[in-house]
Chain A
Amino acid sequence: MLLRHTSTDVAERNALTVNPAKTCQPIGAMYAALGIHGCLPHSHGSQGCCSYHRSTLTRHYKEPVMAATSSFTEGASVFGGQANLLKAIETIFSVYKPEVIAVHSTCLSETIGDDLNQIVQKARDDGKVPEGKKVIFASTPSYVGSHVTGYANMVQGIIRGLVERHAEPTGKLNIIPGWCEPADMAEIKRIALAMGADVTMFPDTSNVMNAPMTGKHEFYPRGGATLEELSRAGDAAYTIGLGKFTAGPGAEMMDKNFSTPHSLQDLPYGLAATDRYIMALKRVTGGDVPEELNTERGRLLDMMTDMHQYLHGKRVAIFGDPDLLVPLTEFLRDLDMRPVQVISGTPGKAFAKRMKELFEGRNAQVNIKNGQGADMFLLHQWMKNEPVDLLIGNSYGKYIARDEDTSFLRMGFPILDRVGHSYFPYVGYTGAMRLLEKMLGLFMDRQDRDAPEERFELAM
């Protein structure tokens, strides 16, 4: 028993987080920045931050993750990190030759009062930013929000620093995907293209964080939104943001700064959320839903009807990030499953409100907690008190799943112990089929494992 000290008595814990269901802002900013082509993320803080974020992203994606750091020293923490950042910008452009440097702050540089806006401006004034190259930035203090907030903040940094408005409208559609896998981003784009939209998507980590093996170490892999695309994004006809927490602030900013109208949808996990995404696309393009997508939807529905008997009443505990948990919970609900425990370390009242709406009028008993005190220790205690059939979340769920002998589906960030998440989507109708297949596989494997011989069935 790895977590043998986990007790069933749930005590008030105000000052202590045990086994967090979140991490800090900068890694989200780093991930978002990797969705810009030719971009080198830069961590303005101590060396360790950058090292930890790179290591975690590397473990999750099995890809080289490049990012630079201001390498703070004792001196920098007393006198400010301006000199470090100026030097860093110079070094990066001369050695690593990116198109863009995306600087994010850390708790250290925020607390000593470094002003990224002012320092980056100084770098430009001092001629440290070569012609045609860009430096963008986002303030990402680790003591506010979570990694989710960091992603949203860097999306806004991208808009502030790279998106422009010219006279000529392009008629294009901007899509801002919330935090999801590169394969999900590619699928989101495929669906939009199938709907006939002309799309600019940012961030876009597909072909960056799931790059092919080429025999070369591509410092800047082929994927990512290009500077050229981004510079015209302000002339687009419309912006769709997917995910209130990670894409919402960016989509709103597009509206505010460039008057491109926007709509905010859930990330399209599951049938209903994918329907809504496609309807949003339809409102923009005005075209019909192509046969290709109708067929995919029909297949998903076919699988759901074929298998609904195996899903009824299954109790599920889920943890992770709000933009995943909301549509995932909705999908589970629609599959007649019972999401009974929901944990997110990311703070924000909007999350709990939205989750409650999903269960309105359904007489469901659901434990939902997010922000302060919502950690994996609490989730484990809940599960001990009221066992579930399935746990869904990132790799850190494996300790609980093992101790409680609960089926476990890996979804979210980070996944450190399995592959597939970066290659195969969970979004869209076919992604939902994959999710369904995985859950059914877990339930049926368990049924086969636990069945007495006389009840062991061939056909299921």
Chain B
Amino acid sequence: MSKSDGVIAARAGQIYTKGNGEFALACEKASTAGAVSQRACVFCGSRVVLYPVTDAVHVVHGPVGCAAFTWDIRGAMSSGLELHRNSFSTDLRENEIIHGGEPRLEEALRHLIAKFNPKAAFVYATCIVGVIGDDVGAIAKKVTRDTGVPVIPVHSEGFRGTKKDGYRAACEALETLIGTGDTSDISPLSINILGEFNLAGEAWMIQDYYRRMGIEVVSVMTGDGRVDDIRRSHGAALNVVQCSGSMTSLAKDMERDYGIPFLRVSYFGIEDVSQALYDVADFFANEDVKRGAEKVVREELLELMPRMAPYREKLQGKSAAIYVGGAFKAFSLIKALRTIGMRVALVGSQTGNSEDYKLLEQMCDPGTVIVDDSNPVELSRFIIEKDVDLFIGGVKERPMAYKLGVAFCDHNHERKIALAGFEGMKNFAEEVYRSVCSPVWQFAPRRAGRGIPASGLHIQAEA
């Protein structure tokens, strides 16, 4: 494959190799038309953020596809109702495209509210709704007035930007609920957890750490989310924001509207999760909470560290490529990979901004390639060139990595095991080990003849 293959000329500025001249990376650009981009749309952004609100109905206003493709799409777990795992659609047909879909939306909402008795209804506007000009806001108002159930429009027309704009639209939808609940019995030592979606029960683990520190968690937005919790979330003393891409705008707005300060944290990797707990303890400047944080970290590390050692031994010196949605996740991944002895040869994101990339550049070793809004041809070229042992990405990247004979770890919506928190670090190490050291790669044509990886030495999974 020649050097120029797979690189779109207009994308040259979106690729940088550390050590090759001064750092500059173009980003936040619209994708080149015709690119096999791994990006999604505004609707996708809104849908993933709001999806874990379990006691609301999520009505996708548009033709059936957008609802069908996002039916139970993430493993966002619920401890109670599972309304969110259904797919509700107005299933617009040709008739509505010509005459408008408002009556249909109204009928759908009334039916849903009568039959399912939800705490709220989110209505997602899809591309087509933006074009045919349905007034979703007016219908929402009318149905809210008649039924008493808040109907919340989400302005998520697919073409109005990138997934990030969808996050923003989702935050605005949440803001219509915030401030409408009773906050009288909330402790002064209280937080909201923002940008945590309870994939594989991660929010439950995080909440548990904070509770052990003596902190009240008022709401999680949106993992295992409850409308009533969101309504009273303005009573919390602090917003703790993870996954900065999706919820920083909400945190900023809540600071403006309710004077709630916020902290940006990550729960991924030992350093970051410990820091997250210490930062919250520092904020409250309360000795009991501080001691609580120290105790949680100490207990968890005592439990975790001995279990990490065997994985580190096996993975030492292996290299990884990272391609994720938001750049913030990449920071934590680089640190977590170092914890298990691995180095990063390629790192990229779909939607990072220049600040994110500056930080990434500082974190990376010389020779590491940094990419923005990449595509499969580029990614497979770099995987081969850098001869990586592991690829960390999402659903569309997995089979590509496997075809190339490279191990894979899903760090996206579809992950099945909790990767957050202390426990998550062990899970991460185990998942990476399971794939990188699989004997299957000895049969992979590209790797054949390089000796058999450590197989047969299965690390004992704990009970």
Interface window among B36-44, B282-290, B353-361: B36-44
**Residue from the list B62, B94, B404 in contact with A215, Cβ < 8 A:** B404
A17-B88, A143-B63 as given contacts; A77 in contact with B130, CB under 8 Å: yes
A15-B111, A27-B65 as given contacts; A108 in contact with B127, CB under 8 Å: yes
A51-B40, A216-B446 as given contacts; A71 in contact with B35, CB under 8 Å: yes
Residues of B within 8 A of A42 (CB): 34
* Residue A107 lies at the interface, judged by CB distance under 8 Å to chain B: yes
* Residue B87 lies at the interface, judged by CB distance under 8 Å to chain A: yes
For the complex formed, measure the closest distance between the CB of B139 and the CB atoms of chain A, giving whole angstroms: 12
Residues of B within 8 A of A89 (CB): 34
* Residue B367 lies at the interface, judged by CB distance under 8 Å to chain A: no
* Residue B92 lies at the interface, judged by CB distance under 8 Å to chain A: yes
* Residue A282 lies at the interface, judged by CB distance under 8 Å to chain B: no
Residues of B within 8 A of A458 (CB): none
* Residue B300 lies at the interface, judged by CB distance under 8 Å to chain A: no
For the complex formed, measure the closest distance between the CB of B12 and the CB atoms of chain A, giving whole angstroms: 12
* Separation of A219 and B38 alpha carbons in the complex (Å): 15
Interface window among A56-64, A247-255, A356-364, A444-452: A56-64
B83 touches A5 (CB 8 A): yes
* Residue B377 lies at the interface, judged by CB distance under 8 Å to chain A: yes
Residue on A with the closest CB to B400?
Answer: A64
B112 touches A16 (CB 8 A): yes
B interface residue numbers (CB < 8 A to A): 6-8, 30-44, 62-71, 82-83, 85-94, 96-97, 103-108, 111-112, 115-116, 126-128, 130-132, 158-162, 376-377, 380, 395-396, 398-400, 402-405, 444-447
B89 touches A143 (CB 8 A): no
A95 touches B6 (CB 8 A): yes
A2-25, CB < 8 A from B: 2-5, 7, 11, 13-20, 22-25
Residues of B within 8 A of A40 (CB): 36
B39 touches A142 (CB 8 A): no
29 residue pairs A–B, Cβ–Cβ below 8 Å: A15-B111, A17-B87, A17-B91, A18-B88, A24-B66, A26-B65, A47-B31, A47-B39, A48-B66, A52-B40, A64-B376, A64-B400, A65-B396, A68-B36, A72-B158, A77-B159, A83-B33, A88-B34, A96-B6, A106-B127, A108-B131, A108-B159, A111-B131, A143-B63, A215-B444, A218-B403, A345-B64, A372-B93, A396-B71
For the complex formed, measure the closest distance between the CB of A436 and the CB atoms of chain B, giving whole angstroms: 31
Residues of B within 8 A of A73 (CB): 30, 159, 161
* Residue A90 lies at the interface, judged by CB distance under 8 Å to chain B: yes
Residue on A with the closest CB to B112?
Answer: A16
A18 touches B87 (CB 8 A): yes
* Residue A112 lies at the interface, judged by CB distance under 8 Å to chain B: yes
A interface residue numbers (CB < 8 A to B): 2-5, 7, 11, 13-20, 22-27, 40, 42, 45-56, 58-59, 61-74, 76-77, 83-85, 87-92, 95-96, 106-108, 111-112, 141-144, 146, 211, 213-219, 345, 372, 377, 396, 399
B36 touches A66 (CB 8 A): yes
* Separation of A112 and B132 alpha carbons in the complex (Å): 9
A18-B86, A71-B31 as given contacts; A64 in contact with B71, CB under 8 Å: no
